[in-house]
């Protein structure tokens, strides 16, 4: 297919119209049993080859510039299926240190049992990843921007390192979304998403996705069929519907996050703002060289050890886990994603008690700023005298 622009791909790629009715939307094929005589493809939901599954894979592949892919039942199903599909007993994997907490727990709990060795690299420097390579290393796994400090790793440098050593490179592209970052074009082999976040975008679905070239998707697909993390047709259809507005949503989230980041930077109660779109971000230029938008995620350090009164005083912005929805949400990583670490461990990686992570939605930015200002006053962090 001719390469089409992302907003167009969001709307049109993968749509399978019913020629009988000429309805504009792909029909929902609810069957879990399909005839097999005289057909080339034996369809079955867990084989990841039913029409609604294939429609959304085509859409995501068009957005990521990928040949093939799978949509699975959660982001973690995508993470575990990709790893198990590509690795075998005795292999060694290099992980970026500050990956998503759920991935970290899965690795630490499951991989030893399977005879897979791994190293977490705490630095973002490609040279440190190179130093971790062993004779049995097969995979390098990264995530950028990272959670919750929005650190940026050089995607091209990691992809080049992997190529040089004959390793597979894999990225969790959830935070950027397929709209802001396309790692395959930068040399990465496998791209994962927690579709629960931006791809779904309305805080009402759970799914995950893997895209890559055909040669690598083949072993992953076999493992996916065996592990069984498939989706039903209704959920696939809702994902297709959500993705039609993905670029529209993410463009608005990019704009709102930029405005909020600048606004927060000017507040005396805020010590620091982490957002790759800010020129003050230590990797702003690197981010600009590998992202086409800086995303809807940011974090900031409030000048307090007890952010709960501030969170409770917000009225529009909801303190909530997860991210990527149309509504702006906020969470304190010290109380959520990083609660299992000790305070010292958290402080060592820059996650203080006052750190707050915002997932910026598609509301009017001024309303969000107004909500933050009134909450600063109401929680007593700002004297009511100030205007």
Ligand X SMILES: *Cc1c(COP(=O)(O)O)cnc(C)c1O
Question: So which residues are the catalytic ones?
Answer: 46, 100, 172, 197
Q: Applying CB under 6 A, which part among 129-137, 191-199, 272-280, 347-355 lies near ligand X?
A: 191-199
Size (the chain), residues = 387
Q: Applying CB under 6 A, which part among 8-16, 170-178, 247-255, 363-371 lies near ligand X?
A: 170-178
Closest contact distance (angstroms) between CB of 114 and ligand X is 19
Q: Applying CB under 6 A, which part among 16-24, 110-118, 172-180, 362-370 lies near ligand X?
A: 172-180
Q: Contact letters (x/-) for ligand X, 8-47, by CB under 6 A?
A: ----------------------------------------
Closest contact distance (angstroms) between CB of 299 and ligand X is 13
Q: Which of 60, 76, 171, 236 binds ligand X (CB under 6 A)?
A: 76
Site for ligand X in 300-339 (CB under 6 A): none
Q: Is 174 in the site for ligand X (CB under 6 A)?
A: yes
Q: Is 176 in the site for ligand X (CB under 6 A)?
A: no
Q: Which of 75, 85, 148, 307 binds ligand X (CB under 6 A)?
A: 75
Work out the angle between the directed axes of helices 75-86 and 214-227 (0-180°, nearest 10): 110
Residues 6+ apart with CB under 8 A from 304: 269, 310, 353, 354, 381
Closest contact distance (angstroms) between CB of 337 and ligand X is 9
Closest contact distance (angstroms) between CB of 119 and ligand X is 19
CA separation for the pair 227, 268 (Å, rounded): 51
Closest contact distance (angstroms) between CB of 191 and ligand X is 12
Tokens, residue 215: 């040669």
Q: Which of 51, 97, 102, 187 binds ligand X (CB under 6 A)?
A: 102
Q: Is 365 in the site for ligand X (CB under 6 A)?
A: no
Q: Which of 69, 178, 208, 354 binds ligand X (CB under 6 A)?
A: 208
Q: Is 212 in the site for ligand X (CB under 6 A)?
A: no
Secondary structure of the chain in the HEC alphabet? CCCCCHHHHHHHCCCCCCCCCCCCCCCCCCCCCCCCCCCCCCCCHHHCCCHHHHHHHHHHHHHHCCCEEEEECCHHHHHHHHHHHHCCCCCEEEEECCCCHHHHHHHHHHHHHHCCEEEEECCCCHHHHHHCCCCCEEEEEEECCCCCCCCCCCHHHHHHHHHHCCCEEEEECCCCHHHHCCHHHHCCCEEEEECCCCCCCCCCCCCEEEEECHHHHHHHHHHHHHHCCCCCHHHHHHHHHHHCCHHHHHHHHHHHHHHHHHHHHCCCCEEEEECCCCCCCCCHHHHHHHCCCCCCEEEEEECCCCCHHHHHHCCCCEECCCCCCCCCEEECCCCCCCCCCCHHHHHHCCCCCCEEEEECCCCCHHHHHHHHHHHHHHCCCCCCCCC
Q: Applying CB under 6 A, which part among 1-9, 71-79, 129-137, 155-163 lies near ligand X?
A: 71-79
Nearest CB to ligand X, comparing residues 361 and 379: 361
Q: Is 141 in the site for ligand X (CB under 6 A)?
A: no
Nearest CB to ligand X, comparing residues 143 and 240: 143
Nearest CB to ligand X, comparing residues 75 and 307: 75
Q: Is 357 in the site for ligand X (CB under 6 A)?
A: no
Nearest CB to ligand X, comparing residues 29 and 197: 197
Q: Applying CB under 6 A, which part among 84-92, 171-179, 271-279, 347-355 lies near ligand X?
A: 171-179
CA separation for the pair 70, 209 (Å, rounded): 6
Q: For binding to ligand X (CB under 6 A), which residues are involved?
A: 74-76, 100, 102-103, 143, 147, 172, 174-175, 194, 196-197, 206, 208
């Amino acid at each position: 297919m001719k390469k089409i622009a992302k907003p167009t791909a969001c709307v049109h790629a993968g749509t399978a119209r019913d020629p009988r009715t000429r309805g504009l939307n792909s029909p929902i094929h609810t069957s879990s049993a399909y005839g097999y005589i005289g057909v080339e493809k034996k369809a079955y939901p867990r084989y990841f080859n039913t029409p609604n599954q294939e429609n959304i894979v085509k859409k995501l592949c068009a957005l990521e510039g990928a040949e093939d892919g799978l949509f699975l039942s959660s982001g973690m199903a995508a993470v575990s299926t990709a790893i198990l599909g590509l690795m075998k007993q005795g292999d060694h994997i290099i992980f970026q240190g500050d990956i998503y907490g759920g991935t970290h727990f899965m690795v630490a709990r499951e991989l030893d049992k399977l005879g897979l060795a791994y190293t977490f690299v705490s630095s973002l420097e490609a040279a440190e990843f190179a130093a971790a390579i062993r004779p049995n290393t097969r995979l390098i796994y990264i995530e950028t921007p990272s959670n919750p400090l929005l650190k940026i790793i050089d995607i091209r440098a990691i992809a080049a390192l992997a190529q040089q050593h004959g390793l597979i490179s894999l990225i969790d592209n959830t935070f950027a979304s397929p709209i802001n970052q396309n790692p395959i074009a930068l040399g990465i082999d496998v791209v994962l998403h927690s579709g629960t976040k931006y791809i779904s975008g309305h805080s009402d679905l759970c799914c995950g996705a893997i895209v890559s070239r055909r040669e690598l998707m083949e072993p992953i697909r076999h493992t996916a069929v065996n592990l069984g993390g498939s989706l039903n047709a209704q959920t696939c259809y809702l994902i297709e519907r959500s993705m039609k507005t993905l670029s529209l949503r993410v463009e608005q989230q990019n704009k709102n996050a930029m405005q909020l980041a600048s606004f927060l930077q000017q507040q005396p109660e805020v010590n620091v703002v982490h957002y790759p779109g800010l020129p003050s971000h230590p990797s702003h230029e690197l981010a600009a060289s590998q992202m086409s938008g800086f995303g809807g995620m940011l974090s900031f350090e409030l000048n307090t050890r007890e952010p709960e009164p501030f969170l409770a005083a917000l009225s529009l912005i909801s303190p909530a886990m997860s991210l990527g929805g149309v509504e702006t949400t906020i969470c304190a990583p010290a109380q959520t994603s990083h609660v299992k670490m000790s305070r010292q461990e958290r402080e060592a990686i820059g996650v203080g008690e006052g750190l707050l992570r915002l997932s910026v939605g598609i509301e009017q930015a001024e309303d969000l700023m107004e909500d933050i200002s009134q909450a600063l006053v109401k929680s007593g962090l700002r004297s009511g005298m100030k205007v």
